[in-house]
Amino acid sequence: MAKLDETLTMLKELTDARGIPGNEREVREVMKKYIAPYADEITTDGLGSLIAKKTGKEGGPKIMVAGHLDEVGFMVTQIDDKGFLRFQPVGGWWNQVMLAQRVTIVTRKGDVTGIIGSKPPHVLSPEARKKPVEIKDMFIDIGASSREEAQEWGIRPGDMVVPYFEFTVMKNEKMLLAKAWDNRIGCAIAVEVLKQLKDVDHPNVVYGVGNVQEEVGLRGAKTATYKIEPDIGFAVDVGIAGDTPGISEKEAMSKMGKGPQIVVYDASLVSHKGLRDLVTDTADELGIPYQFDSIPGGGTDAGSISLTHNGVPALAITIATRYIHSHAAMLHRDDFENAVKLIVEVIKRLDRETVDKITYE
């Protein structure tokens, strides 16, 4: 494996950390470790979202840059008498990417390895073999012989189950493969934005945020935004990469390595036109590559941010990523670095006059 530099080490630690919705503590601690050196103050809201504040100009407009800490995973719901686990997806899963995949059950007594199983095809009728196995018919095999043995190992209903996958730098070292890019890359962007503003004069107060529970309804973004009361909100997340075989440009136009995605529309938000124009004008001026995207079938934390208090101009800036909501996803390092660069440059321009102009445009 390629030698990890400082940034790759952070990305590895963020993606290796386990945290489904409602269980984000481990991820929050990693993000806190990396963002603390650049923050004036670190707090959390009542649900557990991490809020790192950096003051450029006291009393200046508040700018929120938010990733989400949680990843899609599963939760143990039952242990049967033979020691097999029934489970509930937490966040969106496609049944075709789940079978025979290794998982880790995180218990109070330590980690337990499992594998997602189902009835083997050899005992199914020819008709049944043609249909994907439904999630309700899957189970997790931990190698236990009974319910009592599973319980002795610490397994309890409510325990989180996370995909097992090791962070990998591909042969093309710009290509990074890991679990939970959705959305540890957003958390990493928030860290890097604060880092690059360390000794920079900026006319505002910036909040680097790791929201909880995005995958189950953009929940942590609501509470974190209530606490911060921002003037401007950016959600940083993953988007769809349309550069694999079989995807037409009509379905998804974005390509990995061609710049961050500016999301003009999704199921949770019509992006704020004034903010969108400022971001794209800044990118054009500085020659930072970007792509437009729309996601009619999904939302981001920008949706929740925009609807808090009396409304917040909000925009989602995303990274084109392959194979999200599966055990392993892939993204391009240049897109991450250009997203950070673009957000930092926009923040430098968000003084009170500009924010007021955007808000009332």
Tell me the pLDDT of the chain (361 aa) as tens digits: 568 999 999 999 999 999 999 999 999 999 999 999 999 999 999 999 999 999 999 999 999 999 999 999 999 999 999 999 999 999 999 999 999 999 999 999 999 999 999 988 888 888 888 899 999 999 999 999 999 999 999 999 999 999 999 999 999 999 999 999 999 999 999 999 999 999 999 999 999 999 999 999 999 999 999 999 999 999 999 999 999 999 988 888 899 999 999 999 999 999 999 999 999 999 999 999 999 999 888 889 999 999 999 999 999 999 999 999 999 999 999 999 999 999 999 999 999 999 999 987 6
In the 3-class helix/strand/coil scheme, how is 78-145 assigned residue by residue? Answer: EECCCCCEEEEEECCCCHHHCCCCEEEEEECCEEEEEEEECCCHHHCCHHHHCCCCCHHHCEEECCCC
Residues 86, 120: contact at Cβ < 8 Å? no
Helices assigned H by DSSP within 197-332: 219-228, 273-286, 301-306
Lookup: tokens for 107: 């218990």
Where does the chain hold its CATH 2.40.30.40 domain(s)? 73-163
What proportions of the chain, in percent to the nearest 5, are helix, strand and coil? 30, 25, 40
Which residues form the catalytic set? 214
Rounded CA gap, 54 and 188, in Å?
16
Angle between helices 181-196 and 6-16 (to 10 degrees): 140
User: CB–CB of 268/348 below 8 Å?
Assistant: no
Q: Return the exposure string of 237-257: e unless at least 16 CB atoms fall within 10 Å of the residue's CB, then b.
A: bbbbbbbeeeeeeeebbbbbb
CB neighbour class for 231 (10 Å; exposed up to 12, middle 13-18, buried from 19): buried
The Cα 190–Cα 235 span in angstroms is 10
In the chain, ranges of CATH 3.40.630.10 domains: 6-71+179-359
The distance between the two most distant Cα atoms of the chain, rounded to a whole number of Å, is 69
What tokens does 142 get?
Answer: 């931990």
Phi and psi, residue 262, nearest 5°: -100, 115
What's the CATH code, domain 73-163?
Answer: 2.40.30.40
Backbone angles phi, psi at 87, to 5 degrees: -145, 165
Of 191, 193, 186, give the one whose Cα is nearest residue 305: 186
Q: What tokens appear for 89 in the block? A: 């997806």
pLDDT at residue 295, rounded to an integer: 85
Q: Can you give the pLDDT at residue 361?
A: 67
Structure confidence at residue 253 (pLDDT): 87
What's the distance, CA 178 to chain centroid? Answer: 12
CB 266 within 8 A of CB 300: yes
pTM of the full structure: 0.96
Dig out the tokens for 233 from the structure.
Answer: 């909100």
Residue in the block written with tokens 């899963």: 93
DSSP characters over 45-88: -TT--EEEEEESSTTPPEEEEEEE----EEEEEEE-TTSPEEEE
3-state secondary structure of 175: strand
3-state SS, residue 257: coil
Per the CATH hierarchy, to which homologous superfamily does domain 6-71+179-359 belong? Zn peptidases (3.40.630.10)
Quote the pLDDT of residue 124.
83
Residue 103 β-bridge partners: 114, 163
